[in-house]
Amino acid sequence: MNETTKEPFFTAPWPAVVLSGLILALYALQSQFDTTGDLVYMFGLNPRLLWKYDTFYALFTTLFLHGSWAHAGMNAMFGLAFASGVARVFGTRIGGAALFFIYYLLCGVLAGAVYCAIFPDRNVLIVGASGAISGLMGAAIRIGPGYMLPFTDKRVVGMTLAWTVINILSAFVSIVPSAGAIAWEVHLIGYALGLLSIGTWMRLFRPRFYSV
């Protein structure tokens, strides 16, 4: 009789699992100790305040705050789904995991910075890791087996169109219950950053990927 090898049910690389768990754990702490919402106002991202008072730290700190359990849960779920592919090609050793988390943070910080540059006078408060998660989504859709899928690939085009439509609709219809208004522009900016940058990032730090 031929023996069959059973594939493990859960195959997500540990950096993706840690990222998803951190999103939930940090919101658990936030909801437990920040009952008045002070942290959100102190460390959330406000474009007008960013330029007027140089609160550039908020580009970073806002990534660790969320508006509700639904908001945090959605980001954790999408993070686990799309971070897995990106974390896997970076590698699960310490060096690869570090590159993965740095890339994640850069996507989030740059998504917020570009949003604030486009809308410098908006007096809105933005919290959440959605820009960074969207960056991972854009990156993941480009990753093939040892090569980057071209921008014209049907999977890349299809995912890009779907994500664009979903986010434009979210401007008019609440998709995440109790999450409040969604900064859908940040999602699209983060997605575009991931889509455009992952090839360069891999060539710089993981050139062996292209020899797979």
Contact assessment for residue 186 and residue 131, using Cβ atoms and an 8 Å cutoff: yes
Q: Given pLDDT bands bounded at 50, 70 and 90, which one contains residue 181?
A: low
pLDDT digits (tens, 9 = 90+) for 30-82: 999 988 889 999 999 999 999 999 999 999 999 999 999 999 999 999 999 99
User: Residue 17's pLDDT is what?
Assistant: 96
The stretch 186-206 carries a mean pLDDT of: 96
> Residue 133: which of 111, 160, 154 has the closest Cα?
111
Q: Given pLDDT bands bounded at 50, 70 and 90, which one contains residue 177?
A: low
Query: In whole angstroms, how far apart are CA 122 and each of 24, 51, 52, 117, 126?
Result: 28, 11, 12, 10, 11
User: Residue 6's pLDDT is what?
Assistant: 47
Angle subtended at Cα 194 by Cα 190 and Cα 98, rounded to the nearest 5 degrees: 105
The stretch 146-172 carries a mean pLDDT of: 93
User: Residue 174's pLDDT is what?
Assistant: 63
The stretch 89-101 carries a mean pLDDT of: 95
**Averaged confidence pLDDT in the chain:** 90
Higher pLDDT, 175 or 85: 85
Q: How much of the chain, in percent, has pLDDT values that exceed 90?
A: 80
Contact assessment for residue 108 and residue 63, using Cβ atoms and an 8 Å cutoff: yes
Within a 10 A sphere around the Cβ of 189, how many other Cβ atoms? 24
Token pair, residue 203, equals 């060539």
Higher pLDDT, 172 or 104: 104
pTM of the complete model: 0.91
Token pair, residue 141, equals 């859709």
β-bridge mates for residue 126, sequence order: 45
Query: In whole angstroms, how far apart are CA 127 and each of 36, 66, 75, 162, 210?
Result: 15, 5, 12, 23, 36
Tokens 């994640």: give the residue: 104
Q: Does 195 have pLDDT greater than 90?
A: yes
Q: Given pLDDT bands bounded at 50, 70 and 90, which one contains residue 176?
A: low
User: Residue 180's pLDDT is what?
Assistant: 52
Contact assessment for residue 87 and residue 100, using Cβ atoms and an 8 Å cutoff: yes
pLDDT digits (tens, 9 = 90+) for 118-136: 999 999 999 999 999 999 9
